[in-house]
Amino acid sequence: MGDELIEVPAGLRKVVVTTTELGDVHGDEGFYHYREYSAIDLAQARTFEDVWFLMFEGHLPAQAERDAFVAELTPLRALPAELRPVLPAIALAGPRFNPLAGLRTALSLLGASRNLLPLWDTDTAQHRADAKLICAVTPTILAALYRIRAGLEPLEPRADLDSAANWLYLISGAVPDPKRARAVEQYLIATVDHGFNASTFTARVVASAGADVVSAIAGAIGTFSGPLHGGAPDRALEGLDEIGSVDKVDDWVREKVENGDRIMGFGHAVYTTDDPRSLMLRDIARDIGGDLVEFATTVEQRVVEILAELKPGRQLYANVEFYAGVVMELCGIPRALFTPTFAVSRVVGWCANILEQAAGGKIIRPSARYVGPTPPQPVPAG
Ligand X SMILES: CC(C)(COP(=O)(O)OP(=O)(O)OC[C@H]1O[C@@H](n2cnc3c(N)ncnc32)[C@H](O)[C@@H]1OP(=O)(O)O)[C@@H](O)C(=O)NCCC(=O)NCCS
Smallest separation (angstroms) from ligand X to the CB of 260: 7
The b-or-e profile of 66-104 (16+ CB within 10 A means b, else e) is: eeebbeebeebbebbeebeeebeebbeeeeebbbbbbbb
CA distances to 84, 101, 260 from 324, in Å: 31, 21, 24
Residue 320 or 347: the one with the smaller Cβ distance to ligand X is 320
Question: Considering only residues 202-231, where is the footprint of ligand X by CB under 6 A?
Answer: 228
257 binds ligand X (CB under 6 A): yes
Cα 106 off chain centre by: 18
Question: Considering only residues 302-321, where is the footprint of ligand X by CB under 6 A?
Answer: 307, 311, 314, 316, 319-321
23-26 sheet: strands from edge to edge? 23-26, 31-34, 37-38
Smallest separation (angstroms) from ligand X to the CB of 247: 21
> What DSSP designation does 138 have?
H
59 is catalytic: no
346 binds ligand X (CB under 6 A): no
First-to-final CA distance of the chain: 39
Q: Which residue is nearest to ligand X (CB)?
A: 267
264 binds ligand X (CB under 6 A): yes
129 binds ligand X (CB under 6 A): no
Residues in contact with ligand X, counted by CB under 6 A, come to a total of 18
State the binding string over 319-338 for ligand X (x if CB under 6 A, else -). Answer: xxx-----------------
Smallest separation (angstroms) from ligand X to the CB of 89: 31
267 binds ligand X (CB under 6 A): yes
Residue 313 or 382: the one with the smaller Cβ distance to ligand X is 313
**Binder of ligand X out of 176, 265, 276, 340 (CB under 6 A):** 265
263 binds ligand X (CB under 6 A): yes
356 is catalytic: no
Q: What DSSP element (H or E) covers 32?
A: strand 31-34
Output the DSSP codes for 209-263: TT--HHHHHHHHHHHHTSTTTT--HHHHHHHHHHH-SGGGHHHHHHHHHHTT---
Q: Which of 33, 127, 268, 329 is catalytic?
A: 268
Q: Mention every residue, 6+ apart, whose C-beta is less than 8 A from residue 269.
A: 11, 13, 197
Contact residues for ligand X (CB under 6 A)?
Answer: 228, 232, 257, 262-269, 307, 311, 314, 316, 319-321
The residues annotated with a catalytic role in the active site are: 268, 321
